[in-house]
Amino acid sequence: MSVLSGKKILLGVSGGIAAYKTAHLVRLFIKAGAQVQVVMTPASKDFVTPLTLSTLSKNPVYSSFFDEDQENGVWNNHVELALWADYFIIAPATANTLSKMANGNCDNLLIATYLSAKCPVYFAPAMDLDMYKHPSTLDSFHKLKQFGNTIIPAESGELASGLSGEGRMAEPENIISFLENDIISKLPLVGKKILITAGPTYEAIDPVRFIGNHSSGKMGFDIAKIAANNGAEVILVSGPTHLDVKHPLISLIRVKSAEDMYKACFSHFETVDIAVAAAAVADYKPKNVAQQKIKKAASTFVIELEKTKDILASLGQHKKNQFLIGFALETENEIEHAKLKIQKKNLDLIVLNSLNDKGAGFGHATNKVTFINKDFAIEPMELKSKEAVAQDIINKIIQHYDA
């Protein structure tokens, strides 16, 4: 999955021959899973039609402040367009458009939108060789970089003038690659490796029966996705669940029992920077597992149980510099029990769930948690979606490394 997946891309198209490439560029954004909105300068419509880009982006294309064919004069709000975007890419960026951007010469919708943008802005220059090297163009580059904008370097090749040299707009595939690499390089957890456990464990009674719990694994999977979206390399160890994840930074390891999960965690723990134990691991397992299906005979049936290995406590014993996060699901004396767990298991942070809170625990799309750190600072949170709680957990990790 591309880092652009789910992102809102505003594509600004200015009036150069390279504008014909934007049709392919829009398709690549869509293929990467992004939403695309296109703003064109009036001159760019001589090179590629709004209908083409509208069809490919599945959104209206804007090129003027109001629609002239609308009797009531509907205003195309450049501020709303700018605030909508996660990333603003101007490609091709002609010398004329670059100069207007650098000097605030606001005479069309694209420039007005650019001047209103709060998101990261990228520009892909496209012009002839001498224009690309001209001092005024170089001055525009310098100013735009000072503004915090990012240049997608032009490539060398055959130019519209018939000359060959630097100034050709980067190919659409290279623009996508540049964006992905640049975005990833700026993510807060780049270079960090995180181990996450998720889901239940199943402890066999016989070949067809087991002891388990109602954990869906959603919390752990959401944490894994958000960690990866923030640049972390993720090892996700999951018990039995219907959930799946496809992300280039997530390695999914499926296990069944607590023993399986223990072995998987310790095969990776030494190499990670962070561990989040979100799995609902069985505390006990049958002492003796029947090799054949147990037949229904006596009116009562007793299963002798023994403790499973405490994965979180073992990680706490073996941790060196890892930032270790555990979960606690309690029904009474929640804060006291969570504090004891922090001490006994050598945790840096615990995420406390109480089954007394409506909408929390297993079987809900929401969760209500309280964060308690190793210094016993307590931070209760509101009821949120599990995705939002996962984001809060990742924010705690980011804050730890920013401190």
**Catalytic residue IDs:** 213
List C-alpha distances in Å: 358 to 2, 355, 367, 381: 36, 7, 9, 13
Burial, 310: exposed, middle or buried (Cβ in 10 Å; 0-12, 13-18, 19+)?
middle
CB 78 within 8 A of CB 63: no
Contact yes or no for 154/184 (Cβ under 8 A): no
Q: Which of 225, 310, 265 is nearest to 6 (CA)?
A: 225
Beta strand 8-13 pairing with 87-93: parallel
Angle at 107 between CA 104 and CA 113, to 5 degrees: 70
Quickly count: other Cβ atoms within 10 Å of residue 274's Cβ.
22
- Under DSSP, the state recorded for 265 is H
Cα separations (Å) of 151 from 138, 249, 354? 12, 26, 50
Nearest Cα to 18, choosing from 181, 149, 168?
168
CA–CA dist 47, 184 (Å, integer): 33
Spell out where 141-202 has E strands: 150-151, 155-158, 164-168, 193-198
Burial of 259 (0-12, 13-18, 19+ CB in 10 A): middle
Q: Calculate the CA 363 to chain-centre distance.
A: 24
Nearest Cα neighbor of 112 from 153, 147, 148, 62 is 62
Report the interhelical angle of 22-31 vs 172-185 (nearest 10°).
50
- CA-nearest of 198, 91, 233, 109 to 152 is 91
